Amino acid sequence: MIKFFRKIRKNLLSENKFSKYLLYALGEIILVFIGIAMALQFNNWNETKKTREKEQQVLTEIISDLEFTLQDLDRVLNTRTNNLKRTINSIQTIITALKTDQPYHDSLAYNFRAVNSYDQINFKTSGYQSLVSIGTDLIEKPELRSSIGQFHTSSINSTKGGFQEIHLDFYSYMIDYFRKKFTSGFNENGLEKLVPNDFEALKIDNEYIQSLNAFLGVNIAYFDILNNTKDEAEQLKRDIENYLND
């Protein structure tokens, strides 16, 4: 092809057809520019294709992470034998029994044990970490990019903060009551229970009752945070799936 164009130029110059040569030269320049433009366009298309493929991979990984997180949220919120709602109900049952001067019954031992039950959410964020390492601008849709960042910073940090409140309160004062005022044991089915050493004394222990009320408050706050986080995770998962399916 190059030899062909050289031959044309040589013939035009040898025939002293300068005006035609100029037109030919201009046409050749235009062809070169068209070729460059096409090459750039193809390169841009190829880079865009690679970017979108990478975006899809990262978002698919984030969906997988959200599914893992939702399963763990369900574990803490809805496990049949041990969940946060049961812990809250147990604390409320104990407070009511103490304040209304109810007689001791064996079922309270399992409620006392449930007060000792709280769990942390295991968040999986490998997809978000990949996104951050690449650059969040990889996500083409600004609203989705913002939602992903919001969940992985504010929502997760809020949830971890709620757990730390429970953890701190438990080890700051609740654990001392369990050590000093209860005896641990197991029933015939192997379920652990906490039996108060002096149930009647607990009824007039205002410090213990106030501590239970405070611990109830942080558990309820944590429960609300977890439910909000669960709703946000489900919504974010739906938004990402809808974006990928568009």
**Which one-letter amino acid corresponds to residue 100?**
T
Q: How many percent of the chain have pLDDT more than 90? A: 62
| Spatial separation of the C-alpha atoms in residues 148 and 156, rounded to whole Å | 11
CA gap 35, 41 in Å, rounded: 10
Tokens 């007039």 appear where? 204
pLDDT in tens, 210-221: 999 999 999 999
Average pLDDT (146-164) is 95
Which of 179-208 are b and which e, b meaning 16 or more Cβ less than 10 Å from the residue's Cβ?
Answer: eebbeeeeeeeeeebbebeebeebbebeeb
Sorted by sequence, the CB contacts under 8 Å of residue 113 that are 6+ apart come out as 192, 193, 194
Position 10 scores a pLDDT of 54
Tokens of 146: 């913002």
Instruction: Check if the beta carbon of residue 207 is closer than 8 Å to that of residue 98.
Output: no
- Rounded to an integer, the average pLDDT of 91-96 is 96
pLDDT bucket at 117, cuts 50 / 70 / 90: confident
Nearest CA among 98, 118, 65 for reference residue 233: 65
Q: Residue 98: is its pLDDT beyond 70? A: yes
**More confident site: 18 or 87:** 87
At 13 the pLDDT is 47
Query: pTM for the complete prediction?
Result: 0.78
Note the pLDDT tens digit of each residue in 17-27.
545 545 545 65
Q: Which of 61-65, 97-101, 186-190 has the lowest mean pLDDT?
A: 186-190
Residue 81, helix vs strand vs coil: coil
DSSP bridge partners of 182: 196
- Token pair listed for 229: 């986080």
Give the residues across from 196 on adjacent strands: 182
- Cβ neighbours of residue 87 under 8 Å, at least 6 residues apart? 114, 115, 117, 118, 219
Residue 118 in contact with residue 165, Cβ under 8 Å?
A: no
Reduced to 3 states (helix: H, G, I; strand: E, B; else coil), residue 70 is: helix
